Amino acid sequence: MGTYDVAVFGAYGHTGRFVVEELRARGLGVLAVGRDEAKLRALPWADLEIRQASVDDPASLDRAFAGADAVINAAGPFAGTAAPVIEAALRAGVPYLDVAAELEANMDTFARFGDRAASATVIPAMAFFGGLGDLMVTAAMGDWTSADEAHIAYGLSSWHPTEGTRAAGKVSRERRSGKRIRFSGGRIEHRDDALPESDWDFPAPLGTRAVLGEFSMADVVTVPSHLDIPEVVTYMTTNAAREVVTPETPAPPADGPSAQTFVVDVVVRSGGEERRIVAQGQDIYAITAPLVVEAVQRVLDGRTKATGVVSAGEVFDAADFLAALAPRVTVTG
């Protein structure tokens, strides 16, 4: 296994710091890139190579990514950062991965770069939302070539959003004119009716919880990008859905993982058969770091199955990838 240098755009953000820490823990070199040089220099690692760059200045991105073996974009809102950072990664000839949970940004990436990046590696949504769910659905599918429906239920003990989450949510709401999104009948729909409410029977110890159905996350983009499933539905525990949109909800702690716990319960159905897989862990922001860093390590080591704009389940061995997340993510099923 070789030594690699990974450029992290948005290295001083909440998730970006987790990503830098994970890269360093694995012995990978880090090029800390961001728009604010003072914040870059305030990072707690004195030996980091600091490179200031802005999405409004393509030449600065080219300088920042010079010598990098891959680029991880952790700077949202991704509606504004994904395209210019992908462009710069393509100019540098290196793989690009991001942690975008914004549906519109992920749809843009597939639509805009699907043809142009056919021989490159571009992996959007390599995060808790989008990446983990896609890996789980893919693993649950197993030998099935198609399924009737996939259900991804998120059970969060709480959801204290970061400033980036709030900013990204605002951009998404503006882009869809306040409407909501669902994936049904093999296509994205924009709707203005209320989210359906129901109960979901999570495995122990969570148990039955109230959820909002069609609380669409990035999974409705990543899963259908490579799997033949016409109905992909995501759910969110009602308490977490309320907290994330409440202005008074505090941000997560600045240092280290929060006490937040999660259960992701995936059910895939085909005909009369049903397959289920469950993942459990702590802190949806912190867990994004091992997800995206495991992904970049596999890309750099050549452990991939596809090129182009691809989602996690398409480009990696899903079951093997999920196993590699232990013990921070416990997967059963």
Chain segment 156-183, per-residue pLDDT in tens: 999 999 999 999 999 999 999 999 999 9
CB 132 within 8 Å of CB 234: no
Residue 24: pLDDT band (50, 70, 90) is very high
Residue type, 200: W
User: How much of the chain, in percent, has pLDDT values that exceed 90?
Assistant: 95
pLDDT digits (tens, 9 = 90+) for 309-331: 999 999 999 999 999 999 999 99
Distance CA 84, CA 101 (A): 17
pLDDT reading at 89 higher than 80: yes
Residues 6 or more apart from 235 whose CB is under 8 A from it? 151, 152, 153, 154, 198, 200, 211, 212, 213, 214, 215
**pLDDT confidence of residue 204:** 84
